[in-house]
Structure 1
Amino acid sequence: MEFQQTGELEEDVWFDDVDPMLLEPSNNLKQRKLSVALVDEEGTDGLTKHVAVDCEMVGVGYKGQESILARVSIVNEFGKCVYDKYVKPREKVTDYRTDVSGIKAHHIQSEAVLRKLLALAMRDIQGQMPISRTFQYLKKEIYFSMTFKEFKDAYEPCKKQVEGIFLLGPLMDKVTDFRRWEEFQDVQREVADIFKDRIIVGHALSNDLKVLFLGHPRRKVRDTSDYKPFRRLNKGSKPSLKKLAQVILNKTIQAGQHDSIEDACVAMKLYMLNRKEWERSNKSKGVLKQTKYFCTNDSKSIKDEKRRKIKIFKIRNLQKKRR
C-alpha cells in the first residue's frame, strides 16, 4: 500500500488490542486477474490428508435464535465433494433461514410432517386462489419434480376431504427429496471418522464444530478466518469468506443462498494456494506441537445445550398443566 506524501504530518492512528503483525501490508497474497477454478477435475475423488468442511444451520427456539445442524459438506484437496448430507432436526425448527442457508422443509423433515404441511397448505388456499397460484405457492415451499399440467392432473383427486385432511397419495408420489436427511448421531459418527488423523480446513470452524459437537486437535486445524495474512486484508479483524474469495480468488460467492459445498471448496482453495507459507508460519510458532483441542465435547456449548433442553422440558410441562 502506497501513501502519498503531503506537506503536513498526519496524526498516527492506533488500534487497541490488535496484533501489530495484522496491520502490516500483506505482500505474499496475489490477487488473481482471472477467476480461480475451485475443483481440479484431474484430482482423486477419494479422501485426502486435508479435508475442508462447511455446515449449514437452521434456527430453533424463540425466534430461531439458536442454531442446530441441518447440512454438512466435506471436500478433499482437489475440491471434490466426498460427503454431503442433510441432518434430521432434533428439535422443532422455528426458522429455516432459507434466504441464507438454502435449507427448506423438504430437505430435513420426515414424509409424515410434509404430508401434513402440504395438506394444511392446500386446505388453506382451496377456493381462495386459482390452481396456478396454488402450484407456485407449493413449489416455493416444497420441491416438485412435476410440471404444472402434471400437478393439475394430480391435484384434482386431492380435493376430497376425510376429517379435514386431503387424500394426497397421487400428489405426494410426485414430491421428491423426502429421505435425503439422516439422523444426527449417524452423521456425527461418519464425520468424526473422516476427521480422524486428518487436517481440517474451513472458515470460522469453531461454529461448525460446535453444531457437530466434535473436537479436533488445534495443530490439525487450518481456519481461514484466523490466518494472519488474510486478516490483514480486513484491517486486522476476521474477514468474511465472501471477501476472501473476491479479493484473492477473484470469485463471487454467497450472492444469495449459501452453498456449503462451494464454501468448503473456497476455503480449501485458499489454503492450498498459501499452504507453504501457512505451514512454515505454524512451524515457527510451535503450533504443530500443540496438544490442545480446537473444540471439545465437554465445552461450554455442551453445557448450554443441556440447559436449553431442561428449559424446554419445563416449559412443555407447564403448558400441559395449564391445559
Structure 2
Amino acid sequence: MEGMSVKRKRSTKKKQSDWHVSKRLKKSDATDVANRDQTPKDTWEVDSGFSECSPPTSGRTSPCPTSSLAAAAPIVVALDCEMVGTGPRGRCSELARCSILDYHGNVLYDRYVRPCQDVTDYRTRWSGIRPHHLLDATPFEQARNEILTILEGKVVVGHSLFNDFRVLHIPYQRHMVRDTGATHLLRALAGFPPQRRVSLKLLAANLLNRHIQVGKMGHSSVEDALAALDLYKLVQSEWEWELQGQQMDNVEQYLQDQYWPEGGDDDDVDNPEANTF
C-alpha cells in the first residue's frame, strides 16, 4: 500500500510538471507571435515627392508609408496666359485667355477672358486673340476665382510665369513655381550660356524638336503650357533635388547661432529688449 501511494504521488507530480511546461511553451509561442506581428514591415517605396498625377522619376527612397506620401505630395499643373492691350496705345496688359493642364497634358481649364477695360490692341500676332473671341468671354473676376481654385496647393509650371501671375493679380509662393525660363538646368541642357534668358520657342525647338508659335495666327496658350510642361519633365529630377537642397540649406542657416539672441535665458523671451538679433 505504501509503495502504491509513493507511485501515485510521483505520477501526480509528473502530471503537474508536464502541465506547467506545456503552459510555459504556449505562453512562449504566443509571445513569439506577438513579437513577429510587431516587427516593422518594409513599406518604403520609390518616391519623387509627387502624387500619382506626377509620376516619380528621381528614384530616391523614402521612409514614409505610401499612404502618407500620397496625402502630402503636391500636384503639378502647367499654366499659360495670353494677353491683350488696354489703355492708351494698348500698353496695359490684361488677361484674355488662360489654359491650365494637368501633369499628363490633359486640359483642366481653357477659357477666353473678358478684360476689365476696353481692348485697344488685340496683339493677335502674339496672343492669337481676335474680337470675336471676347464677345461671350468669361468676366475677369469670375475667371480669376476659377483659376485660383484650380491652382490652390499645386506646383505651377510655365514659362516667364511672372507675366501670367501679374495679369491674374495672383501673388504666388516661390517654392511652388517651376519657371522654365528661369532655370539654368534647361539652358545648360540646350547649350546656352548660364545667364541668357531663352524663349520658350527656342527651348522647345532645341530640346523637344517641336516648333511652336509659328505663323501669323498667334500663340496658343494650350500649346505653350504643354511645351513648358514637357521641358520641365526633362529636368524634373535634378530640379526637385536642387530645390530640396536649397530648403535644407535655409534650415541649417536659420539654426546657426548668428540668427539667435546672444546670452540671456528663458526669462528673456518675454523681454523685447533682450531679444535683439
TM-score, length-scaled by structure 2: 0.60
Give unmatched runs, 5+ long, in structure 2. Answer: 1-73, 252-277
2:85/2:119 contact within 8 Å kept: yes
Q: Partner of 1:254 in structure 2?
A: 213
1:207/1:272 Cα in 2 relative to 1: closer, same or farther (>3 Å)? Answer: same
Q: CA shift at 1:230, angstroms?
A: 2.1
Task: Name the CA distance, whole Å, in 1 between partners of 2:95 and 2:82.
Answer: 6
Give unmatched runs, 5+ long, in structure 1. Answer: 1-47, 110-178, 291-323
Task: Name the CA distance, whole Å, in 1 between partners of 2:118 and 2:250.
Answer: 42
Q: Alignment length, in residue pairs?
A: 173
Residue identity matched to 1:244: L
Q: Partner of 2:198 in structure 1?
A: 239
Give CA deviations for 1:285-315 in whole Å, capped at 9, x if unaligned: 228979xxxxxxxxxxxxxxxxxxxxxxxxx
Aligned-pair identity (%):
42
Task: Name the CA distance, whole Å, in 2 between partners of 1:218 and 1:288.
Answer: 16
Give CA deviations for 1:102-146 in whole Å, capped at 9, x if unaligned: 10001113xxxxxxxxxxxxxxxxxxxxxxxxxxxxxxxxxxxxx
Q: Are 2:221 and 1:276 equivalent residues in the alignment?
A: no
RMSD of the alignment, in Å? 1.8
Q: CA shift at 1:209, angstroms?
A: 0.2
The structure with more radius of gyration? 2
Which 4+ runs in 1 deviate beyond 4 A?
287-290
1:53/1:200 contact within 8 Å kept: yes
Task: Name the CA distance, whole Å, in 2 between partners of 1:50 and 1:288.
Answer: 24
Q: Partner of 1:195 in structure 2?
A: 151
Q: CA shift at 1:229, angstroms?
A: 1.8
Residue identity matched to 1:274: V
Q: Partner of 2:182 in structure 1?
A: 226
Which SS does the other structure have where 2:116 is aligned?
coil
2:76/2:155 contact within 8 Å kept: yes
Task: Name the CA distance, whole Å, in 1 between partners of 2:245 and 2:116.
Answer: 43
1:1-323 alignment to 2 at 5 Å?
Answer: 49-109=75-135, 179=136, 181-232=137-188, 233-235=191-193, 236-256=195-215, 257-286=218-247
Q: Which has the higher contact order (CA 8 A, sep 6+)?
A: 1
Residue identity matched to 2:124: T
TM-score, length-scaled by structure 1: 0.51
Q: CA shift at 1:273, angstroms?
A: 2.1
1:197/1:287 Cα in 2 relative to 1: closer, same or farther (>3 Å)? Answer: farther
Residue identity matched to 2:246: K
